[in-house]
Amino acid sequence: STWHILGAGSLGSLWACRLARAGKAVRLILRDGQRLQAYQQAGGLTLVEQDQSRHYAIPAETAQARGPIHRLLVACKAYDAAPAIAGVAPRLAEDAEVVLLQNGLGSQDEVADLVPHARCIFASSTEGAFREGDWLVRFAGHGFNWLGDPRNPTIPAWFDDLHQAGIPAEWTVDILTRLWRKLALNCAINPLTVLHDCQNGGLLGHLGEVDALCAELAQLLHRCGQPEAADGLNEEVQRVILATAANYSSMYQDVRAGRRTEVHYLLGHACRAAGRHGLQLPELERLLQHLVDNLRVRGLPCD
């Protein structure tokens, strides 16, 4: 059946183009009539890979279009996922499967609460893509995708579509552990790069702070029933800082570009989880407070 893709931004376009190129039926669901009209004027998506640029005339519609949706890839930012799914919820079929590409945690449950009849599959992606313009996306970093369903270990019937489309992916029964680990890495690195105004490598001058955060994050992961996500966290954080020393973190880039961050679903989620468990994590709480202050001064949303 058709892959409906909600949100034709960086990752949504990357998935749509690869599925379409493999001959899979794909339809984009765009924000509103105005965006649809702009898309139709462009005549499709363009994916740039190395120096190859290819055009894909993928059909598009808005949420108001008719027809049931059996398979939906949600490719919005975490803060847009629930409002976006609300618009298409009436079209979701009885057997609908929804794949959630959002970084962090919290948005997946917001979506699942809105569509209790659908199967929600969570994904964690390390692929990199960015928009060079409207409907023009550059595939910048090869990576991998983990997919899983915390409530049902059965691999979906369509999983081989991904391999056929050249999307590197594996099914896992531990998707929550993967998402928690990625969230913890993000909490230990990204906010500090914003506060110290530096590349990831700049944190080598602040390893005391990084260590203290890792210790609290490990405590939190244990309390949340995710001990494996805590395993060797500090060492991996240091490896990531070294391996990506010249990179600017995604949160740094969002702040620099004046874009809303996903902090609510990253550090914000960690602090809320600690609160729910009655766990005092002063370093993490102070970090969130400083980050919120920093965003507020810049006039950006604080969550």
Considering only residues 108-127, where is the footprint of ligand NAP by CB under 6 A?
Answer: 125, 127
Q: Which stretch binds ligand NAP (CB under 6 A): 30-38, 173-181, 209-217, 241-249?
A: 30-38
167 near ligand NAP, rule: CB under 6 A: no
262 near ligand NAP, rule: CB under 6 A: yes
Q: Which stretch binds ligand NAP (CB under 6 A): 69-77, 182-190, 204-212, 293-301?
A: 69-77
Q: Residue 265: is it exposed, middle or buried by C-beta count within 10 angstroms (0-12/13-18/19+)?
A: buried
Q: For 16, left (φ over 0), alpha (ψ -120 to 50), or beta?
A: alpha
Q: Which stretch binds ligand NAP (CB under 6 A): 23-31, 165-173, 216-224, 288-296?
A: 23-31
260 near ligand NAP, rule: CB under 6 A: no
CB of 131 to ligand NAP, least distance (A): 5
26-35 as b/e, with b when 16 or more CB fall inside 10 Å? Answer: bbbbbbeeeb
Considering only residues 192-231, where is the footprint of ligand NAP by CB under 6 A?
Answer: none
138 near ligand NAP, rule: CB under 6 A: no
Question: Which residues are CB-contacts of 253 (< 8 A; sequence separation ≥ 6)?
Answer: none
Q: Which stretch binds ligand NAP (CB under 6 A): 18-26, 51-59, 70-78, 214-222?
A: 70-78
82 near ligand NAP, rule: CB under 6 A: no
**Which one among 3, 4, 5, 8 touches ligand NAP, defined by CB under 6 A?**
8
Q: Alpha-carbon distance 10 to 259, whole Å?
A: 14
Considering only residues 31-50, where is the footprint of ligand NAP by CB under 6 A?
Answer: 31, 35
Concerning whether 77 is annotated as a catalytic residue, the answer is no
129 near ligand NAP, rule: CB under 6 A: yes
Whichever of 268 and 281 has its CB closer to ligand NAP, that residue is 268
Query: What is the enclosing helix (H) or strand (E) of 54?
Result: strand 52-56
Write the DSSP assignment of 151-192 as a string of letters. T--PPPTTHHHHHHTT--EEE-S-HHHHHHHHHHHHHHHHHH
Question: Which residues are CB-contacts of 109 (< 8 A; sequence separation ≥ 6)?
Answer: none
Q: Among residues 181, 182, 264, 269, which one is catalytic? A: 182
**Which one among 5, 72, 75, 175 touches ligand NAP, defined by CB under 6 A?**
75
| Cβ neighbours around 244 below 10 Å, total | 14
Q: Which stretch binds ligand NAP (CB under 6 A): 1-9, 42-50, 153-161, 221-229?
A: 1-9
- HEC readout, 194-226: HHCCCCHHHHHHHHHHHHHHHHHHHHHHHHCCC
Whichever of 16 and 210 has its CB closer to ligand NAP, that residue is 16
Q: Alpha-carbon distance 195 to 295, whole Å?
A: 10
- For residue 121, the SS3 value is strand
11 near ligand NAP, rule: CB under 6 A: yes
40 and 61 Cβ atoms separated by less than 8 Å: no
Q: Please provide the distance, in angstroms rounded to a whole number, between the alpha carbons at the two ends of the chain.
A: 37
29 near ligand NAP, rule: CB under 6 A: yes
By annotation, the residues acting in catalysis are 182
Residues within the interface to ligand NAP (CB under 6 A): 6-12, 29-31, 35, 75-78, 80, 83-84, 87, 101-103, 125, 127-131, 262
